[in-house]
Amino acid sequence: MENKENINKYGEINLVHRMTVIKRIIHWTFFLAIINNIITGFYIAYPFLFFGKTPTQSDSLSTGIVNSGETNQAFIMTWMRDFHFIGAVLIDVIFIVWLYLAFFSWKEPLYKSFLPFGDKLEEAWKMIKHYFTLKDKPKTGRYQDPLNAFVFTIFHLLILLQMLTGFQMYVASFTGTSAVGAWWPWLMHFSTDWTLFIFGGLTGVTIAHLFIMWLIIIFIAYHIYIEVWRSVMWKEGDILIPFGGYKYIRNKSETQ
Ligand code: HEM
């Protein structure tokens, strides 16, 4: 009886698979690596704390220099850079896996939900209208909606640009060859030297890297907000997708 009432109110409820295990691993690796790189990146850009004793440092809180602590803590910048690079390696690897799956995944290639023309654009526009008016909820199904797919594509392009500007700053500090051979700096120069031209030198590349970080922070704020919003407004458990891989669909809601 109670079940029948719910069906009348919410429509028929079905469970639908939305995210494969590999995509979920990619999702949470992105999450951890990006949070790590935002924190360590901030430190590298604005080194607000120094620990440990060096002969030239005086004990002054106003300069952020504290003369207590272990000698190894004097290397805090080295640790921050180390963790930043580990995060970057993770991001590079999962980006390449994501790119491969976007085209060759059997289960959910990106083009199933996103092609930037035709009815996909119209569907994305319908979703924007729904967000602002709360009316005419577009149907949800097996694949991401075109608006989300579009936003995720922009996100991955930002990540790509962040990788390339990061590699340019990294290779700039190389002198001569590298421990693994000359091919490595050559590859980085070959793939990223154009950023020097586009952003007007190494300072410009550094500023671009910082600016893209802010765009990624805006994406994260929007993304978490909208996924919580969808879960609350649609009552289809959208927030569960990156955890269990499933969500509910009923394609009939209180607002319809
Ligand atoms: C650094 C933080 C995060 C980043 C960079 C991020 C990024 C992404 C990306 C790129 C996708 C699309 C996955 C794909 O390629 O198919 C996605 C999907 C999703 N994320 Fe996140 N995410 C973050 C944090 C979170 C958090 C904290 C939640 C909430 C628990 C969340 C919930 C979701 C949901 C529900 C989807 C599926 C959306 C759909 O298929 O319609 N994300 N996320």
- Residue 41 reports pLDDT greater than 70: yes
User: Please, are residues 159 and 27 in contact by the beta-carbon 8 Å criterion?
Assistant: no
Say yes or no: CB of residue 230 within 6 Å of ligand 1. Answer: no
**Mean per-residue pLDDT for 234-250?**
93
Q: Is the CB of 34 under 6 A from ligand 1?
A: yes
Paired residues of 14 in beta bridges: 249
Between residues 135 and 55, the one the model is more confident about: 135
Averaged pLDDT, 170-193: 88
Test site for ligand 1: of 223, 228, 233, 246, most ligand atoms within 8 A of the Cβ: 223
In this predicted structure, what is the pLDDT of residue 35? 98
Residue 23 near ligand 1, beta carbon < 6 Å: yes
C-beta 144 within 6 A of ligand 1: yes
- What pLDDT is stored for residue 140 in this prediction? 84
For the chain, state the CA radius of gyration: 23
> What does the pLDDT read at residue 73?
58
Q: pTM above 0.85?
A: yes
Tokens of 242: 């990156």
Percent of the chain with pLDDT over 90: 58
Q: Is the pLDDT of residue 82 over 80?
A: yes
Q: Is 166 in the pocket of ligand 1 (CB under 6 A)?
A: no
Q: Which token pair is 243?
A: 């955890």
What domains can be seen in the chain, in order of their start residue?
20-44+73-243 (1.20.950.20)
Instruction: Pick the atom of ligand 1 nearest to 101's CA.
Output: 15
In whole angstroms, give the CA distance from residue 200 to residue 70: 41
